[in-house]
Amino acid sequence: MTPTVAASRTIDLRTLEAAGRLAAAFSAFDTLAAGGSFVLVAYEDPAPLLERLQKERPGLFEWSPFEEGPEFFRVEIVRRRTGAGARGVSEALGWDHDRLEDLEGKAFAERGAGHYAEAAVVYGTFARGLRRHIGFEEDLLFPEFERCSGLPADAGPTAVMRAEHRTIEDLIDEIERGIGDPALDLEGARRSLHQVLGDHNLKEERVLYPGTDRLMTEDERDELVRRIQAYRR
């Protein structure tokens, strides 16, 4: 999986008449090559566009919110590399792991170059994305795994994952507060995050995600991914 860190262009629906906004978004998507992306910016909640894309371009895209109001909405839309068709948890959430890892690396590259304001912006996008990822795992994925496997929420792999999520959240909070300050040394916190997040993601990608895919039917897996795309924390 090779996610994009920065989209090649922005489609700003705020500059368009209402009647042409949906057509502009679909036109931009239909011209994307596999793996290509754009960032959509709108005053209105883009949830109706997501519903239309899920209905009319099923399985063809990934949807990653960057900003969710109240002043405006910003979302990255990426054309899926593997084509259309039902998706599983392993593909969709593994893709998001890679996307977030790239954002974190870019933020620290900006900091290393002395671009502290830029580092803070990129890390903010990473942190919001990781918090959202944790949210849809705990609110949507884990309950489905527990239902299908018969394991209780306070035992087994999901109990471990929830505990690790709290550690991850504390670390990203600490780094986000300080990444724009050149006087702070964040390497220790970053190393700790890499250690816990690396081990955590590996367990998810080797155990939890494929386990969920095996326990669910193809239609159930695809519907779960649709719900994850539409998730709001």
Q: Note whether 73 and 175 are same-domain residues.
A: no
DSSP one-letter string for 47-79 = HHHHHHHHHHSTTSEEEEEEEE-SS-EEEEEEE
Element (H, E) at 113: none
Q: Is residue 194 part of a domain?
A: yes
End residue of a domain, out of 51, 79, 107:
79
27 and 95 in a single domain? The answer is: no
Containing domain of residue 65, as a range? 10-79
**CA-to-CA dists, residue 25 to 22, 43, 54, 56, angstroms:** 5, 14, 13, 13
Q: Does residue 34 lie within any of the structural domains?
A: yes
| Per-residue pLDDT at 8 | 61
Q: Are residues 48 and 143 in the same domain?
A: no
Check whether residue 216 and residue 172 sit in a common domain.
Answer: yes
**Torsion angle (degrees, nearest 10) of CA 12, 124, 93, 40:** 0
Which residue, 41, 61, 79, sits at the end of a domain? 79
Examine the fold and report which residue of 58, 79, 100 is the final residue of a domain before the chain moves on: 79
Decide if 19 is inside a domain. yes
* pLDDT average per 10 residues of sequence, the chain (233 residues): 54 94 96 95 96 95 93 96 85 96 98 98 97 98 96 92 98 98 97 98 96 96 96 89
Are residues 106 and 215 part of one domain?
A: yes
**pLDDT for res 81:** 87
Contact status, residue 146 vs residue 152, Cβ threshold 8 Å = yes
The pair of structure tokens assigned to 86 is 């039902």
Amino acid at 178: G
- Inside any domain, residue 25: yes
Task: Examine the domain organization and report whether 120 and 44 are in the same domain.
Answer: no
State how many domains the chain has: 2
